[in-house]
């Protein structure tokens, strides 16, 4: 693990360079948003989970039973089947997207790529070779989330994880979707993803906090 500290980058210090932005840069605003919402209208749950980069394996990854069992236990206190609660649930999968890198433009489809300092990224689908191994959120839920972000004055954009057959990746969204909940990926664009020194924009991090807060209060 790199020993250097996070640092500001740019003449205007608008960027942050650090190790492990993927996915601390989404976990941090998620926690801050959860703590900032003092009286949510509906029951809200923020899950900070483990092992996403190896396929969410093990009993602490989302490719396991712990989340479903947790919801079932909560639902049982209200006399409800857990599966009914999960089917009525909506979720933002907080994960990063690949920001357009002008040094390596060939691995992106510029018309469908996210850019730093343009807000958080709503990612309808991830996957490899197009949509292999993805969640692919339904259009109605994507519209609902985007409308919520607009109403909260949150800067947002759409994006893909690189050009088809040249990029790709996955998130935990598909494991949440398999439980019956509505879910879409929303997160911060990152340059040099998975490198020892990743770069994000301060504006995008703030918009993640603002967007997650609006979602939890909706």
pLDDT 10s digits, 30-70? 999 999 998 888 999 999 998 998 889 999 999 999 999 99
Q: Is residue 208 part of a domain?
A: yes
Q: How confident is the model at residue 200 (pLDDT cuts 50, 70, 90)?
A: very high
Mean pLDDT of 155-164: 93
Residue 192's pLDDT is what?
A: 93
Give domain status of residue 64, yes or no.
no
How many angstroms separate the CA atoms of 145 and 163, rounded? 25
Q: Is residue 156 part of a domain?
A: yes
The better pLDDT of the pair 186, 1 is held by 186
> For residue 162, what pLDDT is reported?
87
Query: E strands within the chain?
Result: 7-9, 15-18, 90-94, 97-98, 120-123, 127-128, 156-158, 168-169, 182-187, 189-190, 198-201
- pLDDT over 90 at 167, yes or no: no
The pLDDT assigned to 2 comes to 84
Average pLDDT over residues 157-165: 90
CB 174 within 8 A of CB 135: yes
What is the per-residue pLDDT for 35?
A: 95
Q: What percent of the chain has pLDDT over 90?
A: 85
Specify if 69 maps to a domain.
Answer: no
Is residue 65 assigned to a domain?
no
pTM: 0.95
> What's 160's domain CATH number?
3.40.630.10
Range of the domain at 124: 15-39+47-54+90-217
Question: For 170-190, what is each residue's pLDDT tens digit?
Answer: 999 999 999 999 999 999 999
Cα separation of 22 and 166, whole Å?
Answer: 20
What's residue 196's pLDDT?
93
The span from the CA of 42 to the CA of 135, in Å, is 24
Say if CB 85 and CB 73 are below 8 A apart: no
Please enumerate in sequence order all residues whose Cβ is within 8 A of that of 98, keeping only pairs 6 or more positions apart, or say none.
108, 113, 114, 159, 161, 162, 167, 169, 189, 190, 193
CA-to-CA distance for 28 and 78, rounded, in angstroms?
31
Q: Give CA 2 to chain center in angstroms.
A: 24
Q: Please provide residue 168's backbone torsions phi and psi, each rounded to the nearest 5 degrees.
A: 130, 165
- The number of helix segments (H) and strand segments (E) in the chain equals 6, 11
Instruction: Evaluate if residue 130 carries a pLDDT over 90.
Output: no
User: How many structural domains is the chain composed of?
Assistant: 1
The DSSP call for residue 152 is: T
């Amino acid at each position: 693990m790199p020993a250097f500290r996070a640092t500001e980058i740019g003449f205007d210090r608008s960027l942050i360079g650090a190790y492990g932005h993927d996915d601390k840069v989404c976990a941090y605003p998620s926690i801050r948003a959860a703590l900032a919402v003092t009286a949510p209208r509906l029951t809200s749950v923020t899950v900070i989970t483990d092992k996403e980069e190896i396929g969410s394996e093990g009993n602490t990854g989302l490719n396991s039973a712990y989340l479903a069992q947790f919801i079932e236990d909560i639902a049982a206190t209200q006399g409800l089947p857990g599966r009914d609660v999960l089917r009525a649930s909506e979720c933002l999968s907080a994960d990063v997207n690949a920001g357009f890198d002008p040094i390596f433009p060939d691995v992106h489809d510029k018309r469908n790529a996210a850019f730093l300092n343009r807000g958080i990224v709503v990612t309808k689908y991830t996957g490899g070779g197009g949509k292999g191994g993805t969640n692919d959120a339904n259009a109605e839920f994507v519209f609902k989330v985007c409308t919520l972000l607009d109403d909260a004055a949150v800067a947002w954009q759409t994006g893909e994880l690189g050009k088809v057959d040249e990029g790709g990746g996955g998130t935990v969204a598909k494991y949440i979707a398999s439980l019956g909940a509505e879910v879409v990926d929303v997160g911060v664009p990152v340059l040099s993803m998975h490198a020892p020194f990743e770069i994000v924009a301060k504006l995008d991090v703030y918009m993640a906090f603002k967007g997650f807060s609006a979602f939890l209060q909706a």
